């Protein structure tokens, strides 16, 4: 009798272990980034690949820039070393989808926190505040700000907040060409087919620095872009852990150091760290 009940106990224990294992696997896509990082010691992080100073793929295939430094710092706080990170290129239009489909665990890609995006993903941050501006050819004396957009041919990127702003607020004045990436816009402005690229000033500063004497940032920001780290919509624990990591990065000087080293090189004035908006 004793033998049998002991067997029964083991059998039940084994069953529940199996159930836990299966349940764990089935629920893996819904698991918090905190658990994933802790258990796997690996993360897939969506970043930009063509934005100098922010997220740039170098010829050897590695990534550099401020977003990359932020991603590495946060990953480390979650228990993932740089060797455990796979950076995956995202463009402006596929960031929500990549997070929703689980193609990436988080996105650190000049990604503005907006109410519309919050319907699909959630955000930690902000870890930087930028503003929409204009990049024009260095010899362009006419395009001096958003008030001078009349009849101009503008370039921006599909799925970005600056493209959306042009469509809703400047549709009457300007003609908008939407590209997949900002670097293709840069080529079109340099080539003279289009008059200006519009997106965040900090992104434009990187391109202007890449083409000295050929391109300049107008310097009259006309929006507020709060950069957040995007993650699964319902991952409250993940959002809190990432916010804690950002708070630490602001406080220990790593944030300013990373910003100076990456974005400061383009002449962009390094600001104070922003206030986190925990929700
Ligand atoms: N910050 C803006 C956005 O999230 C523009 C930069 C970008 O497209 O990555 O849409």
C-alpha 268 to ligand 1 mean position (Å): 17
Neighbours of 250 (CB within 10 A): 17
Asked if 108 contacts 70 with a C-beta cutoff of 8 angstroms, the reply is yes
3-state helix, strand, coil split of the chain in percent (to 5) is 45, 20, 35
Per DSSP, the chain holds a count of helices (H) and strands (E) of: 10, 13
Cβ of 199 below 6 Å from ligand 1: yes
C-alpha 111 to ligand 1 mean position (Å): 5
pLDDT computed for residue 105 by the predictor: 98
Paired sense of beta strands 132-137 and 196-200, if any: antiparallel
Atom 6 in ligand 1: residue holding the nearest Cα: 110
Task: Find how far residue 227's CA is from the centre of its chain.
Answer: 7
pLDDT computed for residue 8 by the predictor: 47
**pTM higher than 0.85 for the full model?**
yes
Using CA atoms, how far apart are residues 96 and 184, in angstroms rounded to an integer?
22
Topology agreement, domain 32-130+225-266 and domain 132-217: yes
In testing the pocket of ligand 1, which one of 47, 53, 92, 158 has its CB within 8 Å of the most ligand atoms? 92
Q: Which tokens belong to 82?
A: 């740089």
Per CATH, domain 32-130+225-266 is 3.40.190.10: yes
Q: Which tokens belong to 34?
A: 């905190």
Cβ of 160 below 6 Å from ligand 1: yes
Of 183, 70, 95, the residue nearest 135 (C-alpha): 183
Asked if 85 contacts 71 with a C-beta cutoff of 8 angstroms, the reply is yes
Cβ of 161 below 6 Å from ligand 1: yes
Question: Where do the domains of the chain lie?
Answer: 32-130+225-266, 132-217
Q: Which tokens belong to 25?
A: 């696997």
Q: Over the stretch 101-152, which tens digit does the pLDDT of each residue have? A: 999 999 999 999 999 999 999 999 999 999 999 999 999 999 999 999 999 9
| Exposure b/e, 196-207, CB count within 10 A at least 16 = b | bbbbbbbbbbbb
Paired sense of beta strands 50-51 and 55-57, if any: antiparallel
Instruction: Please give the number of the atom of ligand 1 that sits closest to the Cα of 163.
Output: 10
pLDDT beneath 70, residues of the chain: 1-29
Cβ of 182 below 6 Å from ligand 1: no
In testing the pocket of ligand 1, which one of 129, 178, 199 has its CB within 8 Å of the most ligand atoms? 199
In the CATH hierarchy, which fold is given to the domain comprising 132-217?
A: D-Maltodextrin-Binding Protein; domain 2 (3.40.190)
Using CA atoms, how far apart are residues 246 and 235, in angstroms rounded to an integer?
17
Counting Cα atoms < 13 Å in the Cβ hemisphere of 265 gives: 14
pLDDT computed for residue 29 by the predictor: 61
pLDDT computed for residue 159 by the predictor: 98
Instruction: Please give the number of the atom of ligand 1 that sits closest to the Cα of 130.
Output: 1
C-alpha 196 to ligand 1 mean position (Å): 16
């Amino acid at each position: 009798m004793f033998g049998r009940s002991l067997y029964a106990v083991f059998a039940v224990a084994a069953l529940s272990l199996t159930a836990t294992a299966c349940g764990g696997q089935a629920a893996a896509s819904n698991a918090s980034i905190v658990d994933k990082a802790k258990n796997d010691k690996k993360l897939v992080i969506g970043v930009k690949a063509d934005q100098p100073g922010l997220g740039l793929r170098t010829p050897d295939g590695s990534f550099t820039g401020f977003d990359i430094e932020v991603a590495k710092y946060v990953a480390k706080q979650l228990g993932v070393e740089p060797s455990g990170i796979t950076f995956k290129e995202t463009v402006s239009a596929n960031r929500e989808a990549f997070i929703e489909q689980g193609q990436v665990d988080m996105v650190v890609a000049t990604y503005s926190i907006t109410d519309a995006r919050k319907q699909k993903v959630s955000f930690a941050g902000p870890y930087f505040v930028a503003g929409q501006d204009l990049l024009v050819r260095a010899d362009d004396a006419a395009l001096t700000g958003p008030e001078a957009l009349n009849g101009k041919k503008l370039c921006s990127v599909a799925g970005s907040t600056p493209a959306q702003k042009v469509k809703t607020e400047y549709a009457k004045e300007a003609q908008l060409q939407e590209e997949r990436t900002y670097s293709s816009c840069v080529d079109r402005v340099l080539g003279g087919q289009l008059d200006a690229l519009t997106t965040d000033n900090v992104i434009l500063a990187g391109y202007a620095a890449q083409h000295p004497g050929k391109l300049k940032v107008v310097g009259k920001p006309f929006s507020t872009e709060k950069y957040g780290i995007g993650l699964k919509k319902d991952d409250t624990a993940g959002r809190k852990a990432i916010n804690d990591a950002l708070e630490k990065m602001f406080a220990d000087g790593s944030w300013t150091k990373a910003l100076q080293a990456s974005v400061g090189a383009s002449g962009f004035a390094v600001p104070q760290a922003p206030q986190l908006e925990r929700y």
